[in-house]
Structures are given as structure tokens and as C-alpha cells.
Amino acid sequence: MPKKLGLVLGSGAARGWAHVGVLRGFEEIGIKPDIIAGCSVGALVGGAYLIGALEELEAWGRELSPLSAIGAFNFWVSRGGLIDSAPAFEAFASFDRKIEDLPVMFGAVAADLGTGEEVWITQGSVIAAARASSAIPVLFHAVQRGPRWLVDGAVANPAPVSLARYLGADIVVSVDLNAIPRVLSRFNPPAPSVPALDPVSVPSPEEGFSGAVSKFIADTRSRIDRQMAIAKARTQSKPQLFETAYAAIDIFQMHLTRLRAETAPPDIHLTPDMRDALPNSFDRADEFIETGRRALLDKGAEIEALLKE
């Protein structure tokens, strides 16, 4: 009996362009996932792929610049958030299908505000599931589903390998966009070291030995002064509001994904380096898509081997 391949598409906001590249990579090697489990933007991209709206989603996303991304939604302080995402999702209503009717098994992860537990959405509207899974707390309105109020699944299970296993996956490929977090590296100074010095030039007859020594001392002092200025700048700089928020979210999701992977490890763990991607970097689509495609192709042979075992 053929093994079922599960694809896990993790959270990551605009980094989700990499998921598009992963899906394209699968097409290149001629493999189709039997199961897709998504969280946040992973649920959005995975759902769009399965209902045939991925090209439309990509075209819509490419129109968003870093400044216009939030403007594509409606500001309305309600339901625990600043922005109502419903209008954006309604634009794709004509593509919507029930999860039960999809040719591939699909599930999305959200978090229950009432209990704190993760919620696996495996029935009903694909678009509604993607919207609930990507309802970033405070930024987007919470989504009501029956008696529950749901928010972004990234606070509970950023890369839901466990959901893919539950849906029947024998082999799981997990795409973790937060494995290499966007930390504030300037606050992590390198270990003290002796500054590298320019080689001492051979003195010309006019300079003599004393001239060469004077030049060596001046070069050394210049290098030391430069190193001290860099160290002072690091010490005096302070974290800024938004960069601190980005870093904190990345660090949280990195550690949570690692912990979840201890009990539900994937067979193939794709960790494209997305640390330079800001949450609203929608204008870097081509770069991120290629990053995801390359990450998948680099593991293509391993995936094929696992499916043949």
C-alpha cells in the first residue's frame, strides 16, 4: 500500500511566500501531497492551493506593499483585534469549498480563546478555516466558530505535524519558517579578539626603520579606536518597539515548534532561512518563493527515498 505523504505548512506571515515555492518544488519532482496541514499563512496558502485559488492569492498578495498590506483590510476595533480580515477573505468566496469535498485531506490549526487549547479544523469552509487559523491576536479580529472564539494557531502549534499524523500521514514534510529567528544580533557582540592589523610595509629608503614603526603604531591605534567605537555603539543602542516585537514572536515560535517536534517529529524538516523577512514583506514574493522552492528541491531525493521504503 503506497505511503501517504503529509505536507505541513507553518506560520510566518509574508514569509508564507516560501510555501508557494515549496508547492512548486513538489510539482517539479512530480510528487503530490496526500495531506496538507496548515497553520496561519500555511493554512491560507495550503487552502488556496487545494481550492484552485493559489494564482489569485499570489496576484492579490503581490499588489501589497509593506505600507499597503494593512490597508487592504478594514480597521474596526472589535472582537479583540484592530482589523477585520473578513473583506479580504470574501474576495475569494467564489473559490470556496468544503474541506470534506477536497481531493486532498486538509486541516488547519487555530487556538481557542476560551480554553487555550489548539483546535483542529477538518470540516466546513476552507476559507473560514484559513481565516480562523490566521487571526493574529490583537491585530486581526478573533473568529467565531460555533461557541468558540478562535485566533491564530501559531500561539499553540506553529507547524502542526501532529495534525498531519492525525489525518493519516505516514511521511511528513514540515516547512518551518521560524526555525532561524529574526533576533537582534547587534546585542550579541562577538567574543573579544585581537584586531587584525594591516601587514607592515617594507620601509622605503626615505622612511627608514623609525618611519615604519611610526606607521605600525598609527595603524594599530586606528584599528583599536574603530573596534572601541563599534563596541560603544552596541552598548548605547537600544531595542526599538517593532523590531522587539518581531524578534520576540520569532523566538517564541522557534521554541514552541522545537518543543512540539519532540513529541511529533517530522520525517523531513525544511528550515529555509527567512530571518531577514519582515511580517509585511509581501513585495519580496519572488525571492521568498525561490527560497522555498530551493529548500524543497534540496530534499527531493530524500523524500522520494522515504516514499519508496
- C-alpha 228/C-alpha 303 separation (Å) is 50
End-to-end CA distance of the chain: 11
Q: Which of 11, 40, 125, 174 is catalytic?
A: 40
Instruction: Answer yes or no: 40 catalytic.
Output: yes
Closest CA to 155 of 226, 295, 249: 249
Neighbours of 27 (CB within 10 A): 11
Instruction: Answer yes or no: 286 catalytic.
Output: no
What grid cell was written down for 77?
476595533
Rg (the chain; Cα; Å): 25
Closest CA to 126 of 138, 114, 134: 134
- C-alpha 69/C-alpha 280 separation (Å) is 7
Q: Which of 34, 125, 133, 152 is catalytic?
A: 152
Residues acting as catalytic residues: 40, 152
